[in-house]
Amino acid sequence: ILNVEQSPQSLHVQEGDSTNFTCSFPSSNFYALHWYRWETAKSPEALFVMTLNGDEKKKGRISATLNTKEGYSYLYIKGSQPEDSATYLCAFKGQGAQKLVFGQGTRLTINP
């Protein structure tokens, strides 16, 4: 069974501060790495799909980097706002796989 780990499990950040968290995945047989944001009482929403080593993606104040050789991805949030409070999920897809393997998520709370 593939192991996808996210750290930390939960995080409290002051409004206006920047933060980041990690997704670790198998470094062999990589195909794609997905990031999703899951706000309470809503459905998970896709943030990024990353496929190339060294890839960096940005969406507003949120960005992500990818290192497939060492098996990790970082998600960064700049100038956190209350609406950033959510659980952030990463998911790994291997070569030839038809399914995603999800990490357990990082629960982010922004304190006003």
Partner 1 sequence: DGGITQSPKYLFRKEGQNVTLSCEQNLNHDAMYWYRQDPGQGLRLIYYSQIVNDFQKGDIAEGYSVSREKKESFPLTVTSAQKNPTAFYLCASTTGYSNQPQHFGDGTRLSIL
Report in angstroms the alpha-carbon separations of 97 from 3, 29, 32, 51, 59. Answer: 15, 10, 10, 14, 27
Q: Is 42 in the site for partner 1 (CB under 8 A)?
A: yes
Q: Binder to partner 1 among 1, 60, 70, 112 (CB under 8 A)? A: 1
Q: Is 12 in the site for partner 1 (CB under 8 A)?
A: no
Footprint (CB under 8 A) of partner 1, residues 65-104? 89, 91, 93, 98-104
Q: Binder to partner 1 among 7, 8, 9, 27 (CB under 8 A)? A: 9
Q: How far is the CB of 44 from partner 1 (least distance, A)?
A: 5
